[in-house]
């Protein structure tokens, strides 16, 4: 009896312990997902584009910097190697400050196309027309038959030529027609 009681207590304790989250983590019984904010991708190893490039000599002048005199001239007079037109030449005074106009010129406003809205609307219209024709062909895949009698064009053309050659009047009497079959019971549903 004592043995059964000990066995039941042991099984109950085991069941109670497995429900505890801290014990599960300590015994590695719970699954741990990686933290998505700590995952870091590593850059692939690549060779430089010019592997034969020689390293610079220590103390040698750098070719992109120029002489100290040229650097000072560019800094003081704000001169670049290329001569750019001034802001007043590119964009006339339209009530904006020089800084605003300079910012607009450097952003490329002067090169903007004046009819860009019409171009975008035309391109969007052509894309929408293509999409509409595709949607219409998918939705309305079956063409509805026109009501009434349909004249067979090749036979009617032959009949009119014969009547004209014989000198008979060109009336609608005797026009060849296309006979349509009746629809089946389930044909209109699908």
Exposed (0-12), middle (13-18) or buried (19+): which is 83, by Cβ within 10 Å?
exposed
DSSP 109: G
The rounded distance, in Å, linking the Cα atoms of 161 and 158 is 5
Separation of first and last alpha carbons in the chain: 77
CA atoms of 174 and 156, how far apart (whole Å)? 9
* pLDDT band, very low/low/confident/very high, at 87 (cuts 50, 70, 90): confident
Say what the pTM is.
Answer: 0.26
For 129-180, how does the pLDDT look when each residue is reduced to its tens digit (9 = 90+)? 777 777 777 777 666 666 666 777 888 888 888 888 888 877 767 777 766 6
How far apart, in whole angstroms, are the C-alpha atoms of residue 65 and residue 87? 27
Segment 32-81, tens digit of pLDDT: 777 777 777 776 777 666 767 777 788 877 777 777 888 788 788 776 65
Residue 104 has pLDDT above 80, yes or no: yes
Q: Residue 104, Cβ neighbours under 10 Å: how many?
A: 17
Phi-psi region of 143 (alpha: psi -120 to 50; beta: other; left: phi over 0): beta
């Amino acid at each position: 009896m004592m043995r059964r009681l000990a066995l039941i207590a042991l099984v109950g304790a085991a069941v109670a312990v497995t429900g505890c989250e801290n014990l599960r983590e300590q015994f590695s019984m719970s699954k741990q997902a990686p933290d998505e904010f700590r995952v870091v991708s590593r850059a692939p190893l690549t060779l430089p584009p010019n592997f034969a490039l020689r390293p610079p000599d220590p103390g040698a002048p750098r070719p992109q910097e120029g002489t100290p005199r040229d650097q000072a001239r560019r800094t003081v007079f704000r001169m670049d190697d290329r001569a750019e037109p001034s802001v007043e030449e590119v964009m006339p005074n339209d009530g904006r400050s020089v800084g605003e106009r300079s910012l607009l010129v450097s952003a490329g406003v002067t090169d903007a196309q004046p009819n860009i809205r019409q171009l975008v609307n035309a391109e969007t219209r052509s894309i929408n027309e293509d999409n509409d024709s595709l949607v219409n062909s998918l939705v309305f895949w079956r063409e509805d038959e026109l009501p009434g009698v349909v004249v067979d064009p090749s036979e009617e053309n032959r009949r009119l030529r014969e009547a004209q050659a014989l000198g008979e009047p060109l009336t609608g009497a005797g026009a060849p027609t296309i006979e349509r079959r009746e629809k089946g019971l389930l044909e209109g549903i699908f």
